[in-house]
Amino acid sequence: MNQGGNIQTVAPLDPNPIEKRYGVEVSQVQTSSYQYSTGSDAASWTTHRVDNQVVQNGNYSNSNYYHPQPPVPPATGNVQETASSSTSGTVNVGQDYSGYTPYQTPSDPQNYSNSGYTNHYSGYQQQQQQQQPSQSYPQQPAGAYQNTGAPYSSFQNPGSYAGTASYSATYYNPADYQTTGGGYQSTSYSNQTAGGYPSADYSNQTPTTSNQGNYTSNPYQNYTPDAANIHSSAAAATPPVHYQQNYQQWPGYYSQTEVPCAPGTEKLPAASAFSQSFPVTNEMPASSGQPAPSYAQPWRQETDSSQPPSQQPAAAVSASNDAYWMHQTPNQQAYYPVPPQNHYQSPLETKPFYETPIQGHQRATYPQELNSQSSIHQAPLTYRQPTQTTPSVDTQRVSKIQIPTNPRIASNLPSGYTKMDKGRSPAGATQTPAYVSVSMSNPKGHTTAMPEPGTFPKSLCGFVERAFARCKDDKEKASCQASLKKIITEATNDGTINTRDWDTEPLSTVLNTDVTNTEPSSAPISSLQNKSPTRRPKSRWEPLVESKPFVKSAPTFTTGVKFGGWNHQNENNKKSSDSFQKVDAVTGSKPSYYAQDSAKKIFQRPVKRQRFSSGSSTANDNDSSSDSEKDLTPYYSSAMSLASSADEKKRRDSRSKRFEKVQGHSRGNDIPKPKISNFRRGTALRLGQDLDESGSRAVEDMDWDALTVKGTCQEIEKRYLRLTSAPEPSTVRPEDVLEKALLMVQDSPKNYLYKCDQLKSIRQDLTVQRIHNHLTAKVYETHARFALEAGDLTEYNQCLSQLKILYAEGIEGCTLEFAAYSLLYITLHSNNNRELLSSMSRLSKEAKKDEAVRHALSVRAAVTSGNYVMFFRLYKTAPNMNSCLMDLYVEKMRYKAVTFMSRSCRPTIPVSYLAQVLGFAGTSSEGAGEKEIDGMEECSEWLKAHGASLIADSNGDMVLDTKASSTSLFMPEPEDAVAHGDRYLDVNDFFTRT
Amino acid sequence: MAYVSMGEAHRRITEYLNRFCDAVSYQDSSMLCRLLSFSSNSPSLISLADALNVFQDASSLIRQSEKFSEYGEILAHLFRSLQSYRVGNLVEAYLAFDKFANAFVQEFRNWESAWALEALYVVCYEIRILAEKADKELTSNGKSPEKLKAAGSLLMKVFGVLAGKGPKRVGALYVTCQLFKTYFKLGTVNLCRSVIRSIETARIFDFEEFPRRDKVTYMYYTGRLEVFNENFPAADTKLSYALQHCNPRRERNIRMILKYLIPVKLSLGIIPKDELLQKYNLHEYMNVVQALRKGDLRLLRHALQEHEDRFLRSGVYLVLEKLELQVYQRLMKKIYIIQKLSDPARAHQLKLEVIAKALRWLEIDMDLDEVECIMTILIYKNLVKGYLAHKSKVVVLSKQDPFPKLNGKPVSS
């Protein structure tokens, strides 16, 4: 392994440095903490370099890219621009490059890296400040010094970033344990540099072992001081978790792959300990054994207990790395310069290759980037959730670094998860003014996020994730960030951040704020979308994705914020900020760093969401659900992209309400706390659902209430046409019209086919409007009767099954009448003893007293005993439509009777008797002469048709010769039989329909 | 729930775990059975359940030891199920038990020999019982009961594990019987068919080699199925087999078999002794048998009406109803005998008028047409030999054996 090799090589260097780091770095950092702001950039750069050095192959290339681009222009530009005092720092940055190397050589590359990160962050902040002074970062506005100072404060976040640096370090660590140790220390340093901030804690903690522990404590403190920081932290919080996860994973990797690392200095062990110390670490080994994708799921579950988000992200990252490296390697690198490099370095020998490609991409002009983006898009598509998750991160970034960095970022993003970034970035760009404050936090969040996540309570992280997951747009995310900042700062100020139950914290506040922010951005986004060449075909998961490509081009690419500093610097240096293309080209290489970072984040998040349905899952679910909704309702999707904030809000509200109703979860933005208490449970439930998220979720999420049509059609007559699409309200009749239509059909003199057609259309309208009441029952009853009348058993069965449901719901109707029908149907047509028994046993005593039911029961007895006399008597006295059902059995019964008689009776039976007994027309007791003759004729016709031998007796009356008939009887084919089996498909009938 | 100290709880759980592992490693099936049979409500299981409810983190105990963790999945689900069972949350208990059963079956599949068959029986039994209880709970909560259905599919899976060749096949019939019970309860009797086919067509394994109790149960259920199908001779052989082989001291089982065997025998023309009905408390058949003996149609109808619900539920109503023709036959015979006493020369001519009068005495009002119809049917079904002279409204009986006995043959259709 390259890493291993690297590590070993590095290790020797590190051990000393590490120790030194503790002492030296701390001292240095502290002393230079001020410097840090200025020098931080340099440091960051150096870190990159360091990393590169450490990594040697892959890192080098990466570092090279990064270094050249960002260091020179950005550092100087930013520092100079922002603050004179800081300019020195910036200058330093520029110098740092040169100086960095020395740093590395001297002691701890990791420290450098850490510092570098901080620097990056600081740089970002500065850049942001510079770029978005109007936005006014609370801290930054102070001026150049303030910038520096602010950066520092933000740097504290950077400190967390330092943590990120440590990430890199950790990654490196795998390569170089020593370096990792250094990195950790450096992180602690960064914290220290933060100064007033808990940095002390950091430093203290870091030495101990667990970075996380440090982070946790530190982050809180840091956050508390600065609201902005808090926000960033909050925003960062989620990403940090991911980072941590990454860390863990990596550590796991390292531990697994590179046992030799342990031999490293004491610090090295510490680093390993870090990774292990992480709750995730246990899981890590498994994950390490298996590439990212496989990990993700197991991780989530496990992570749920302790650090679900972090683990997931890590898994995601790893997965993403593994999965996407080939395709997206450039992207990733671009996004997360440091971590990816590390990853690449350690796991993949190809890293160098990647780097080169990345470089090429970066260098490549927009078109190429776009292409790369498109390819990336595909990759994101595979990770639907990731993309979603990424947006939040991206948005943060975007908001942070709006202008110059955006293009670069975009370029970066395209390669990796550009869409996400793009989408967010546009939002950020459009919203930049509103977001200004947010942007600050974002950068910090990114930087700080890494370290902070640990410090924050997991529940808070989950909360933040949820909040972001909610966000569909970059706008929303930005606003979400801002509100989150507030919330967290408040919480920290209150000291309730640890005590508050974040799991039940309503997201509504966060979301509401978001909405306001989002409005301005919407228009730009739409324009961007239109322009976007690489539109995502699958917008389901990320509605905004389409806009992302534009975002790339859009100046507002705040997404680059994290890297933005770099980008900005680059831009500033190159002064190509105006022309995005130029910027892109210029920054192309630089963005790669950022891109890598962002990519890491992105990967992490996606993974989290995918696997982490529980904690952040709610948010994810919301996203997915919303997405699915969009899919279901095409107009939604368009609305989503272009939607005014108001619309979105409405939609969101309705959606949340729906969840309240349906699932009892409190995902809704507006959902009150108590409901949210169900959150975990709901999420847990969702875990199970996650499996079929893509498939069934959509249906589950369908808002049936919303989709229920309210008919407006006033036509009474309507032909039935099976729906092939969503019903049009204009063609659906409302209830009162349907009532008239029913009456019309009932009184209609037209044939059954017409009535059936009309009734079916009425039924359809009822169904579409979800009308379940007496009218529905009436319609089905009417239809069932008509069907019986016409002997249409299939239609009758449909109606009867519906009626059973309706009756079971307690809707009144002719229950007994239809119970009788059902009994008759079973007796006469289904011939299923079990069914008959069960339906008989289900009859209540009252039901058995009903005339129709009693009749049906008698018919059953007659049929089972073969008592044809009784049957035909019942046939004549049948109430309701019972005779219609019996009609269908008459033929069989007659045949049976004649067979019986011809076997049993000798020598003859008069046809007149048969006609009377077998219920031929007009043989009723009062029987007028003519009718009797008619019945006779009909009977003899029937007998002849069935092969009976009729003879005339001495009186000239027709009699049945039973002996002859007993062998000659047969059942003739029904006359109206048609080859295709359905006589209603008769052509003439068809023509008479109209 | 008695108070259980943490230490005590720990002790109990560990003891259980030890026993479980010992039972598995020594292949002690009977011990395993005792450890698994929930419904036995054995004091040791109850105390274990209490302990589990006190000592919540039993899974960590399982994980601690390599010995336990080997069966970690099995045990963890089992514990969870037991916990819920003890608390009375039967649905939860079922769900956990279902997982346990799956894990156990998986493990069972890996065991070469069939030593754990008894334990598997216990699992199959418990899952069904638990599912029934869970369904009861669901129904009382207004939810749709579906657990028994789920248990059915699980049992089907178990059947698949056992149905192949090898020593485990002996257990297939037990699972089949559990499936029968499930399906009969669910009313999805048609699902039995595939299982039956698999049992009866597999020639590799002689049916007689199955355990006796399973054979009896199997025959009982398949016999019931034949009753539904009104295939009386087949039902007769199956139910008779069950009756002959079942433990003569298990009166309840005998009674269950007789409940179906008696109607079957009746429709074959074989009338049981009253002592039998008395002995097994089958009073509902008393009047039916009496009616057959006496040709008392009214009595039969009354008996049917009186026990209608019971007969409908057990599914013999239609069978008993068909006895009406035999009662008619008996009545004709009685008339014939009486006529023979008064006027032997014309005894073989039964006037419909006379029959109608006899029926009227039984408070059954029928006109001649209807009587003629009945007689037609009787002749057609060969319950009466002779012919019906329609013109003169007389049934002319054959001089030789005018009322043939069924003698174990069903009434021809």
**Residue A824, domain CATH:** 1.25.40.990
Q: Rounded to a whole number, what is the distance in Å from the CA of A549 to chain B's nearest CA?
A: 48
Q: What are A's interface residues with B at a Cβ cutoff of 8 A?
A: 833-834, 836-838, 840-841, 861, 864-870, 897, 899-901, 903-910, 913, 917
Q: Which residues of B touch A868 (CB under 8 A)?
A: 373
Q: Report mean pLDDT in 10-residue bins for chain B, 413 residues.
A: 71 82 83 80 79 75 73 82 84 88 86 82 89 86 82 88 78 88 86 84 73 89 89 91 89 90 91 89 90 90 90 89 90 90 85 89 87 90 88 87 83 73
**CA atoms of A367 and A415, how far apart (whole Å):** 11
Query: Has residue A362 been placed in a domain?
Result: yes
Q: Rounded to a whole number, what is the distance in Å from the CA of B17 to chain A's nearest CA?
A: 25
Query: Has residue A991 been placed in a domain?
Result: no
For residues A601 and A663, membership in a common domain is answered with no
Q: Look up residue B7 and give its two tokens.
A: 């230490």
Number of domains in chain A: 4
Reported ipTM: the value is 0.82
**CA atoms of A399 and A986, how far apart (whole Å):** 70
**CA atoms of A242 and A339, how far apart (whole Å):** 12
Q: Which residues of B touch A897 (CB under 8 A)?
A: 373
Q: Say whether the peptide bond before residue A293 is cis (omega within 30 degrees of 0).
A: no
Q: Which residues of B touch A906 (CB under 8 A)?
A: 387-389, 396
For residues A555 and A478, membership in a common domain is answered with yes
Q: Do A909 and B390 count as a contact with CB atoms less than 8 A apart?
A: yes
Closest by Cα among A331, A376, A314, A347 to A611: A314
Q: Do B322 and A836 count as a contact with CB atoms less than 8 A apart?
A: no
For residue B396, give the H/E element and its range.
strand B394-397
What local confidence, expressed as pLDDT, does residue B300 receive? 92
For residues A366 and A469, membership in a common domain is answered with yes
What local confidence, expressed as pLDDT, does residue B54 receive? 76
For residues A625 and A595, membership in a common domain is answered with no
Chain B interface, mutation test: which of A841, A849, A962, most B Cβ atoms within 10 Å?
A841
Q: Is A961 helix (H, G, I), strand (E, B) or coil?
A: strand
> Computed from CA positions of residues A506, A510, A512, A515, in that sequence, does the dihedral angle turn out positive or negative?
negative
Q: Which of B230, B318, B387 sits opposite A906 (nearest CB)?
A: B387
Q: Which chain B residue is nearest to residue A837, measuring alpha carbons?
A: B312
For residues A864 and A960, membership in a common domain is answered with no
For residues A101 and A50, membership in a common domain is answered with yes
Q: State which fold the B324-397 domain adopts.
A: Arc Repressor Mutant, subunit A (1.10.10)
**CA atoms of A628 and A642, how far apart (whole Å):** 17
Sheet holding A908-910, edge to edge: A908-910, A958-961, A950-952
Q: Rounded to a whole number, what is the distance in Å from the CA of A839 to chain B's nearest CA?
A: 9
Q: Rounded to a whole number, what is the distance in Å from the CA of B248 to chain A's nearest CA?
A: 30
Q: Which residues of A touch B99 (CB under 8 A)?
A: none
Q: Which residues of A touch B389 (CB under 8 A)?
A: 905-907
Q: Which of A834, A897, A904 sits opposite B189 (nearest CB)?
A: A834
Closest by Cα among A371, A339, A378 to A357: A371
What local confidence, expressed as pLDDT, does residue B166 receive? 75
Q: Do A904 and B228 count as a contact with CB atoms less than 8 A apart?
A: no
**CA atoms of A717 and A87, how far apart (whole Å):** 82
What local confidence, expressed as pLDDT, does residue B242 receive? 92
**CA atoms of A231 and A128, how far apart (whole Å):** 15
Q: Do A904 and B370 count as a contact with CB atoms less than 8 A apart?
A: no
B150 touches chain A (CB under 8 A): no
Q: Which chain A residue is nearest to residue B384, measuring alpha carbons?
A: A904
For residue A976, give the H/E element and its range.
none
Q: Rounded to a whole number, what is the distance in Å from the CA of B243 to chain A's nearest CA?
A: 24
In this structure, the number of other CB atoms found within 10 A of the CB of residue A433 comes to 16
Q: Which residues of A touch B391 (CB under 8 A)?
A: 908
Size of interface A-B (CB pairs under 8 A): 76
Q: Which residues of B touch A830 (CB under 8 A)?
A: none
Chain A interface, mutation test: which of B391, B392, B395, most A Cβ atoms within 10 Å?
B391
B234 touches chain A (CB under 8 A): no
Q: Which of B312, B373, B396 sits opposite A837 (nearest CB)?
A: B312
Q: Do B390 and A908 count as a contact with CB atoms less than 8 A apart?
A: yes
For residues A181 and A330, membership in a common domain is answered with yes
For residues A876 and A913, membership in a common domain is answered with no
Q: The tokens 């039935």 sit on which residue? A: A720
Q: Do A865 and B380 count as a contact with CB atoms less than 8 A apart?
A: no
- Give the residue from A828, A857, A886 where a domain finishes: A886
**CA atoms of B413 and B406, how far apart (whole Å):** 13
Per-residue CA distances from A668 to A263, A505, A630, A644, A729 (Å): 52, 11, 17, 19, 29
Sheet holding A905-906, edge to edge: A905-906, B386-389, B394-397, B349-351
Chain A interface, mutation test: which of B185, B321, B390, B392, most A Cβ atoms within 10 Å?
B390
Q: Do B318 and A905 count as a contact with CB atoms less than 8 A apart?
A: no
Q: Are B398 and B348 in contact (CB under 8 A)?
A: yes
> Computed from CA positions of residues A316, A271, A93, A125, in that sequence, does the dihedral angle turn out positive or negative?
positive
For residues A519 and A372, membership in a common domain is answered with yes
Q: Is B388 helix (H, G, I), strand (E, B) or coil?
A: strand
Q: Rounded to a whole number, what is the distance in Å from the CA of B33 to chain A's nearest CA?
A: 32
Amino acid at B158: V
Q: Which residues of A touch B324 (CB under 8 A)?
A: 865
Q: Is B225 helix (H, G, I), strand (E, B) or coil?
A: helix
CA A986 to chain centre: 50
Q: Which residues of B touch A861 (CB under 8 A)?
A: 321
What local confidence, expressed as pLDDT, does residue B239 receive? 93
Q: The tokens 């069914």 sit on which residue? A: A835
What local confidence, expressed as pLDDT, does residue B221 receive? 92
Domain ranges for chain B, please list them. Answer: 6-210, 324-397
What local confidence, expressed as pLDDT, does residue B220 receive? 92
Q: Do A869 and B379 count as a contact with CB atoms less than 8 A apart?
A: no
For residues A682 and A561, membership in a common domain is answered with no
Q: Which chain A residue is nearest to residue B375, measuring alpha carbons?
A: A904
Q: Do A870 and B370 count as a contact with CB atoms less than 8 A apart?
A: yes
Q: Which residues of B touch A909 (CB under 8 A)?
A: 390
Regions of chain A with pLDDT less than 50: 1-454, 512-644, 659-697, 923-928, 994
Query: Has residue A789 been placed in a domain?
Result: yes
Q: Do B370 and A833 count as a contact with CB atoms less than 8 A apart?
A: no
Q: Which of B324, B391, B396 sits opposite A865 (nearest CB)?
A: B324
Q: For A294-306, what is each residue's pLDDT tens digit?
A: 333 334 333 333 3
Q: Give residue A352's domain range.
A: 2-26+40-135+149-197+212-261+275-280+320-451+460-607
Query: Has residue A13 been placed in a domain?
Result: yes
Which residues in chain B (65-124) have CB-CB distances under 8 A to chain A? Answer: none
- Give the residue from A607, A641, A665 where a domain finishes: A607
Query: Has residue A776 been placed in a domain?
Result: yes
Q: Which chain B residue is nearest to residue A905, measuring alpha carbons?
A: B388
**CA atoms of A226 and A155, how far apart (whole Å):** 11
**CA atoms of A216 and A545, how far apart (whole Å):** 33
Which alpha helices (H) appear in A320-403, and where do they start and end? 325-335, 338-345, 351-363, 366-382, 384-400
**CA atoms of A464 and A865, how far apart (whole Å):** 75
Q: Rounded to a whole number, what is the distance in Å from the CA of A921 to chain B's nearest CA?
A: 18
Q: Do A834 and B318 count as a contact with CB atoms less than 8 A apart?
A: no
Q: For A865-919, what is each residue's pLDDT tens digit?
A: 888 888 988 888 888 878 888 887 888 888 888 888 888 888 888 888 888 888 8
Q: Are A227 and A199 in contact (CB under 8 A)?
A: no
B397 touches chain A (CB under 8 A): no
Query: Has residue A329 been placed in a domain?
Result: yes
B369 touches chain A (CB under 8 A): yes
Q: Which of A869, A906, A910 sits opposite B370 (nearest CB)?
A: A869
Q: Is A54 helix (H, G, I), strand (E, B) or coil?
A: helix
Angle made by CA atoms A924, A928, A931, in degrees to the nearest 5: 75
Q: Which residues of B touch A869 (CB under 8 A)?
A: 369-370, 372-373
Query: Has residue A964 been placed in a domain?
Result: yes
Q: Look up residue A859 and give its two tokens.
A: 């018919």
B135 touches chain A (CB under 8 A): no
Which residues in chain B (171-230) have CB-CB distances under 8 A to chain A? Answer: 187, 189, 228-230
For residues A342 and A475, membership in a common domain is answered with yes
CA B264 to chain centre: 15
For residues A589 and A639, membership in a common domain is answered with no
Q: Which residues of B touch A827 (CB under 8 A)?
A: none
